[in-house]
Amino acid sequence: MPELLQDPRYSSDPLRWENRDILRSKIESFTVKHTKAELKKLFGGKVPFSPIYNAKDIFEDSHFAARQMLPEVEHPGSARPVSVPGVPVKLSLTPGGVRHRAPILGEHSRQVLAEIGVPPAEIQRMIDSGVISAQ
């Protein structure tokens, strides 16, 4: 849309903001005519652009796989591993990662309470009265 370069309404950040509704409408009328892949090829790294993904797009994107953003973990009640969000920031010395699943509600209640000195009878009383959940 090279004609936008000549339009004085968009010649500065403040003017683009002032005319944002018109500008957004023009951009949307152009982008809606193209697929995500076409726009990515057209913009070629020259225009800040990122498609809005649905779940299917995320699972099919090789970048997500390469960055280990959808690791699989075992989960109680599931016949197969489930995908969970990965660690987005990968530092050289401490890259982080998913090593195990999150606990289910009450999975460690007895252990944690025992570690802080709560007597077994009191833990059981809290479970029986519904104050806490436990597995």
pLDDT digits (tens, 9 = 90+) for 33-45: 998 889 888 888 7
Taken in order 61, 64, 67, 68, is the CA torsion positive or negative?
negative
The pTM is what? 0.57
Q: Which amino acid is at 130?
A: G
- For the chain, which residues make up each domain, given as ranges? 3-43, 53-99, 103-135
The mean pLDDT of 51-72, rounded to a whole number, is: 92
Q: Residue 41 class from Cβ within 10 Å (0-12 exposed, 13-18 middle, 19+ buried)?
A: exposed
pLDDT tens digits along 22-35: 999 999 999 999 98
